[in-house]
Every structure is written in C-alpha cells, then in structure tokens.
Structure 1
C-alpha cells in the first residue's frame, strides 16, 4: 500500500530549522528501510508544509511513523493528513 502524508507546519521557522536535522535523520532511517519513498517541502509560494509518500502494510503503521517524527513531537507540524493513495499513471509507477 502507498500512503501519502501531508504536513502543514506552524509559523515557527526557527523551531523548524532547529529540529530539521533530527527530522531528516528520522526520515532517512525510514528511507533506508524502504518505507519512505519520497519526501520534501512544498515550494515557496505554497503554505509551509511537505508531502511524504510511504510504502506500508496499513495506514496505522504510517500514522505511528508520523507520530514519532521529531517534527511532530517537537511541535513543528500543525496538522498532518494520512491517506491511502492509489497511483495508476506516471513514470515513477514501476518503482512503486
């Protein structure tokens, strides 16, 4: 199953910058394990946030990762949505 997570960040940019190394280390571990497929922030014209794509057995597993992410535990994430995603077209599809 592929699960899309959308983060919306708080306005506290200083806290975000402070916690980012721990957040990226946490996500790097999930990527190295093959669970995190892609992750990155939205562009500068979009509201502050990010999109993360995971491979998981179920949404509860992804929710547990979101709950453990330093961005969430330290208060950088104002809201997160966790949604099953069913990709059907595109050049990345074979890799999923």
Structure 2
C-alpha cells in the first residue's frame, strides 16, 4: 500500500527544527520502510509553519505509523499537525514505475 504523511511545522519550533534537521534526514534515509518521495514545500509564508510530505510503500498503515512515531521531528513536537493516510494513486509515471518494479 502507498501511504502519505502531510506534516506542518510549528513556527514557534523553528530553532528546534533547525537543531534536529540532520537527525531527521538521517532517520528518513535509514528507514526500514520504502520511502518513495520525501521533502519540504517551498519556503513558508512568514509566521506559518513549513509543510512536508512523505510518500512510502508499506505493508500496513500500522507499519508507517510506527515509523512516524520514531521521527525526531514528531518525537520533539516540531510538527504542529501530522496527517497520515492511505493513498491510492491511479495515474502517472511514478505509478507505472512502481507497477513494473523499477
């Protein structure tokens, strides 16, 4: 299954986010799940938190939720909100690559 996580940073935690950024990146790179895409949005409007998206292929939603719980940004409260949901893509070049195992 394909799972997506949409997270919005707490603008009041900018210093904490900066301090944990390399640890967060290392956590994503060393993940036991298959991350297909991950990254932040364009720079946020002043006073708003930045957003980030992770798209992963997992066996179960619980597997992704366990991964999410271990993320340094989640553990430290850098994210003001996190939404996790199963995504069912129906069209696109990346979907075709997933289907043929590339």
TM-score by length of 1: 0.89
Structure 1 residue runs of 4+, over 3 Å off?
A: none
Please give the alpha-carbon distance, in whole angstroms, between the structure 1 residues aligned to 2:34 and 2:73: 18
Say if 1:34 and 1:63 are closer, same or farther in 2 by CA, change over 3 A: closer
Correspondences of 1:59-78 after superposition (within 5 Å): 59-78=61-80
The more displaced of 74-83 and 33-42 is 33-42
Aligned equivalent of 2:8: 8
Structure 2 counterpart SS, 1:88: coil
Count of matched residue pairs? 94
Q: Give 1:48's match in structure 2, choosing from 44, 47, 50.
A: 50
What is the CA-CA distance between 1:28 and the residue it aligns to?
Answer: 0.1
Please give the alpha-carbon distance, in whole angstroms, between the structure 1 residues aligned to 2:43 and 2:87: 25
| RMSD (Å) for aligned C-alpha atoms | 1.5
Stretches of structure 1 that go unaligned for 5 or more consecutive residues are none
Stretches of structure 2 that go unaligned for 5 or more consecutive residues are none
The more displaced of 46-55 and 62-71 is 46-55
Q: Does residue 39 of the first structure (1) align with residue 38 of the second (2)?
A: yes
What is the CA-CA distance between 1:34 and the residue it aligns to?
Answer: 5.6
Q: Deviations over 1:4-27 (max 9, x none)?
A: 100111112111110010000000
What is the CA-CA distance between 1:45 and the residue it aligns to?
Answer: 4.6
Structure with larger Rg? 2
